[in-house]
Amino acid sequence: MIRLGFIGCGGIARAHLTALDRLSDRVSVAAFFDANRAQAVDLAGGRKDVVVTDQVDSLWASGLDAVLITVPNRYHAAYSEEAARRGLAIFCEKPLGVSVADATGMVAAVERASVVNLVGFKNRYFRAIETLRHVLDEQMLGPLFAYREVCSGARLANPNIGMEWRMIETIAGAGAVADFGSHSIDMALWLLVPHTGPLVSLDSRLATFITRDGSYPSNDDMAVLSGRFASGALFSVLNGRVGPGLYQVEVYGLKGRALVDMTQPDVLNLIGYGGEKITAPALPERKFEDPLLIQMARFVDAVATKTPIEPDFSTALSVQRWIEVARSSAD
Ligand SMILES: NC(=O)c1ccc[n+]([C@@H]2O[C@H](COP(=O)([O-])OP(=O)(O)OC[C@H]3O[C@@H](n4cnc5c(N)ncnc54)[C@H](O)[C@@H]3O)[C@@H](O)[C@H]2O)c1
């Protein structure tokens, strides 16, 4: 039985705990640590024989095999480096850190310690996205011309939400371009690079619109990214925390266009340029369909077998580099 502990017991930790409870034959959640003790108590929900604490040393002393790092971005680096030093496997939420310097140190720490490490780019596991990856690998769209994505969420546009950590640059790093854009950049690189070669250029426009009690967040609410892959294929992304909640991925190729719209996360639309529908191959049944559950099951397997797993810290460092390019090129 793998013993796992939470570092951070907020919103996403709760979603991961639901997934972990479905894997209880292989993993036991043994420690709940949060700087705010009430959060740890709340997430632990009265479980017996577990450590519930606001002292990180109690977590380190609880005999763990692995940790889930689910704190705000600024704190990913220090906890990851300490966990790696202690030989623990690490699942870390995205974005990996708040800067390339941060992320580089994290990669060095996990590589030095040779510990399993995984980053929470969960969108890779949606059924339609998995099918899209297969379609591209089978060259069903022919040579690729463009990647286009909209990835946004409306929650922070709600005036009843205060100035939370995501809006504070010193804690979150970038805003929408890191929060949503890290998912978008990971997805584009993962799907296209095997066919187009690397992303070679990127620039951006960033904007901040939200006000809270008369002051603005210190990072971006909306980002438009535009770039090019080595083959010449184009890259275009809109990330927003003020638009409607939307997740749409499109890939254009010589033979047609693929569209995934997360209102239907299982459906891949493939349309030829004569308007004809192209039939996507049916992939084998999966044991689970929920992306968070698939992600946790992969992590638990990797920890049990001590096998490296993707997307790892090194992959997330590449994403962090492009976030930094987007920020430094913004006008
Ligand atoms: N993969 C995804 O789709 C996804 C979705 C949501 C959040 N996230 C990521 O997960 C992380 C956490 O986000 P969230 O939405 O759960 O935030 P949250 O605010 O809901 O929870 C964060 C928790 O961390 C605790 N905390 C803050 N600073 C701490 C510190 N220094 N030490 C220990 N605990 C501390 C807070 O008390 C809080 O309980 C972020 O990196 C975020 O980007 C990823």
pLDDT of residue 62: 97
Please state the atom number of ligand 1 nearest to the C-alpha of residue 164: 19
Q: Is 134 exposed, middle or buried (0-12, 13-18, 19+ CB in 10 A)?
A: middle
pLDDT of residue 150: 97
Tell how far CA 81 is from the center of its chain.
19
Number of domains in the chain: 2
The CA distance from 198 to 189, in Å, is: 8
Q: Does one domain contain both 102 and 131?
A: no
pTM confidence score: 0.97
| Residue among 193, 182, 3, 24 at smallest CA distance from 88 | 3
pLDDT of residue 215: 84
Q: What is the pLDDT of residues 54-86, one digit of tens each?
A: 999 999 999 999 999 999 999 999 999 999 999
Q: What is the CATH number of the domain that holds 160?
A: 3.30.360.10
Q: What is the pLDDT of residues 95-131, one digit of tens each?
A: 999 999 999 999 999 999 999 999 999 999 999 999 9
Q: Does one domain contain both 208 and 224?
A: yes
pLDDT of residue 138: 94
Q: What is the mean pLDDT of the chain?
A: 96
The CA distance from 263 to 150, in Å, is: 13
Q: In what order do the strands lie in the sheet with 89-92?
A: 51-53, 27-33, 2-7, 66-69, 89-92, 117-119
Average pLDDT over residues 153-169: 90
Please state the atom number of ligand 1 nearest to the C-alpha of residue 179: 43
Structure tokens at 209: 């619109």
Q: Does one domain contain both 280 and 134?
A: yes
User: Could you tell me which residues are beta bridge partners of residue 282?
Assistant: none
Percent of the chain at pLDDT > 90 equals: 90
Average pLDDT over residues 33-55: 97
Q: What is the CATH number of the domain that holds 105?
A: 3.40.50.720
Distance (angstroms) between ligand 1 centre and the Cα of 94 equals: 10
Domain of residue 28: give its range.
Answer: 2-122+294-312
Task: Name, of 77-81, 152-156, 209-213, the range with top average pLDDT.
Answer: 77-81
Q: Which amino acids bring their CB within 6 angstroms of ligand 1?
A: 8-13, 34-36, 39, 70-73, 75, 93-94, 120, 122, 179
Q: What is the pLDDT of residues 229-240, one digit of tens each?
A: 999 999 999 999
Neighbours of 143 (CB within 10 A): 13
Q: Does one domain contain both 173 and 88?
A: no
Contact 180, 188 (CB under 8 A): no
Q: Does one domain contain both 7 and 63?
A: yes
User: Nearest C-alpha to atom 7 of ligand 1 is from which residue?
Assistant: 12
Please determine, for residue 243, whether its predicted confidence score (pLDDT) is greater than 80.
Answer: no
Please determine, for residue 213, whether its predicted confidence score (pLDDT) is greater than 80.
Answer: no
pLDDT of residue 87: 98
Q: Does one domain contain both 15 and 69?
A: yes
Q: Does one domain contain both 279 and 141?
A: yes
pLDDT of residue 277: 87
Please state the atom number of ligand 1 nearest to the C-alpha of residue 34: 34
| Residue among 181, 186, 187 at smallest CA distance from 326 | 181
Q: Does one domain contain both 157 and 272?
A: yes
User: Nearest C-alpha to atom 31 of ligand 1 is from which residue?
Assistant: 75
Q: Does one domain contain both 159 and 279?
A: yes
Distance (angstroms) between ligand 1 centre and the Cα of 257 equals: 36
Q: Does one domain contain both 276 and 159?
A: yes
The CA distance from 238 to 313, in Å, is: 24
Contact 80, 69 (CB under 8 A): yes
| Mutational pocket test of ligand 1: of 16, 32, 34, the residue with most ligand atoms within 8 Å of the beta carbon | 34
Q: What is the pLDDT of residues 246-305, one digit of tens each?
A: 999 999 999 999 999 999 999 999 999 888 888 988 888 999 999 999 999 999 999 999
Q: Does one domain contain both 129 and 278?
A: yes
User: Nearest C-alpha to atom 2 of ligand 1 is from which residue?
Assistant: 120
pLDDT of residue 223: 97
pLDDT of residue 242: 87
Q: How far apart are the first and last CA of the chain?
A: 51
Neighbours of 318 (CB within 10 A): 19
User: What H or E segment, with its residue span, contains residue 257?
Assistant: strand 256-261
Distance (angstroms) between ligand 1 centre and the Cα of 69 equals: 8
**Using only C-alpha atoms, what is the Rg of the chain?**
20
Q: Does one domain contain both 89 and 164?
A: no
User: Nearest C-alpha to atom 27 of ligand 1 is from which residue?
Assistant: 71
| Mutational pocket test of ligand 1: of 93, 239, 320, the residue with most ligand atoms within 8 Å of the beta carbon | 93
User: Could you tell me which residues are beta bridge partners of residue 118?
Assistant: 91
The CA distance from 95 to 319, in Å, is: 8
